[in-house]
Every structure is written in structure tokens, then in C-alpha cells.
Amino acid sequence: MLATAWIVGASPCHTQAQELNARVSINRSQVSNTKGEVFDALQKTMEDFLNNRKWTDLTFRDNEKIQCTLNLTVNTYSDTDNSFTCSLLLTSSRPVYGSSYTTTAYSVKDPQFTFTFREHDQLEYDINNISNNLVALLAYYAYVIIGMDMDTMAPKGGTPYLQTAEQIVQAGQTMDYPGWKAFDDSKNRFGQLNDYLDGAMESMREWEYVYHRQGLDRMASAPDSARSAIAEGLDLLRQAHEAKTMSHVPLLFTEYKREELLSIFTERGTKEEKEKAYDILFAIDASQNESWKKLKK
């Protein structure tokens, strides 16, 4: 994997390419008596918007593009005013160095993915003039995906991209759509990004780097040392949780990393590592205790 070149810059011979390889799927089973053309157009428009635009000044080879999926469930659609109310499950992944394994870099459920769209609409993006909510949603998640991915590659490497996502959140404050408003819901777009960038939770971002670069990326060459780095790094996750106990961010990480964390420690972890992992993960998300109890075996 050549992902580290994304941070330090690539040689002139590298071909510039867009950052994302996004795949959109749309489930419209809850919507009846509607023609499929608008949904097909929506899928293509979303993919084109995400994939055919350069979001950063970084240089990517084709095989370095960030893989991501957006699974959209349409709850309601009106062909009268072209309005959609949807829920989104978004997942992005990154390769693990020295292996064929890919790991989830970010995953989130957004139950307030609401917008208007007509079959022949063209989406135009201007960071200084965002008035279309579908544009705002897609641009926001593009920058969050890139920012989260970069945080796994270098300490706080995603800062400029997450700050751009923050600009989009601020633009969203003036739009009459759910999910953007400050303090409406700690789990909405504002709440999650605000928490992640909060200086009080800086250890969460340090943890992203330690877990992926010092842990997973060294697992093939030095598994015991890599696992030990993750075990020690769990203190960073604990610190983030304790700094802001109501934040959804640490819990979200344990949700989409649950099976991976269990695999890391149950297969070869020491008794001390397993006990530490259990104590911290249970403190963050006690609802997953049936899973965490596997660390005690």
C-alpha cells in the first residue's frame, strides 16, 4: 500500500486522480407507485458527484482511491415537490499494509438524509455558496471520509479536510433541513463532527492513528508488537470517552470496529491485554457486553 504518499506528497510521475471510489445503492422498497427513472438518475448523479471531482490537492493513484459505499433507504418520495426523506448507511475502508485485508476507516448511520432532486438535476459545488442540501450532504461526507482516512495515516492528518466539512456544517445552519443544527441532537452531523474536532477529545484522533498505523499496519510483520501498541493505545480511547462521556464518537468506533477488536485480542492477546480491552470497551458501550465477554474466555 502506498497510502503514506498521500500525506507527504507524490512524485511528479504519479497520475492525479480523484480521491473517492464511491458506490451508491438505493433501496426504494418502501416507496410504491413511482417510476424507477428518478432513482436511477439519483444513484448516477450521486456517484458522479463524489467520484468525478477532486476534493483536495492530494495526489492519488487509481489503486489508492478511498473505497466507500453509500446505502440509501428511501422512506418517502414525493413527485409533487421532488422531496426525498431517506436514511443513509455510509462506510469507507482502507487497505492494511502488508496484507490483502481492508479495514473500516469510518462508518455512520444518518437517519436524516433529506433533500430534493429531479431526474435531470445537475449538482454544482461551491464551498462559498451552498444552497442545495443534497450537494451539502455529499460534500460534507466526502470531506469527512477523506479526513477520517487521513487521520489513520498521520497524526491529525485529516485536519484540513475535516475543517472544510465543518464549513459545510456551518452553511447547513441556514438551511431548513434536519441534521445540521447545533445542539439539536448530539448524534447529528454537527454533534459528531464538533465532538471529533473538540480539543478535549484530541486523544480520539491520536487513537485513530495509533490503532491503524502503529497497530493494524504492523500486524503482518510484527503481530505481537502491533497488538501491544493497540492495547496500550486503548488508554487514548478511554481518555476520549471520559473527556466527553455523552459523545457518540468513541461508541461509534466500537460499533464498527467490534469484530475486528475481538479478533485482535481473542486470537493471541495476553490475559492482561484482554482484561484491559474488556474494561475499556465495556465502559464505553455496555450494550455490547455479550460480545465483549468473549475477551474474558
Q: Residue range 218-239: average pLDDT? A: 98
Mean of all residue pLDDT scores within the chain: 93
| Residue 20 neighbours by CB under 8 Å, 6+ apart | 50, 51, 55, 65, 66, 68, 142, 145, 146
pLDDT digits (tens, 9 = 90+) for 201-214: 999 999 999 999 99
Q: Report residue 59 as a C-alpha cell.
A: 495526489
Whether 13 shows a pLDDT value over 90: the answer reads no
The pLDDT score that the predictor gives to residue 186 is: 86
The pLDDT tens digits of the residues spanning 92-132 come to 999 999 999 999 999 999 999 999 999 999 999 999 999 99
- In the structure, what pLDDT confidence band is assigned to residue 16 with cuts at 50, 70 and 90? low
How far is C-alpha 112 from the chain's CA centre?
16
The per-residue pLDDT for range 154-196, each reduced to its tens digit, is 999 999 999 999 999 999 999 999 999 988 888 999 999 999 9
pLDDT for 32: 83
> Quick one: angle between helices 133-151 and 37-51, nearest 10?
40
- Please check the confidence at residue 292 and state whether its pLDDT lies above 80: yes
Choice between 3 and 165, residue whose per-residue pLDDT is larger = 165
Question: Whole-angstrom Cα distance, residue 238 to residue 240?
Answer: 5
d(CA 9, CA 154): 13
Cα–Cα distance, 252 to 204 (Å, whole number): 12
Confidence of residue 6 (pLDDT cuts 50, 70, 90): very low
Distance of alpha carbon 264 from the chain centroid: 21
What confidence score (pLDDT) does residue 11 get?
A: 31
How far is Cα 52 from Cα 66, in angstroms, rounded to an integer?
13
Residue 185: per-residue pLDDT? 87
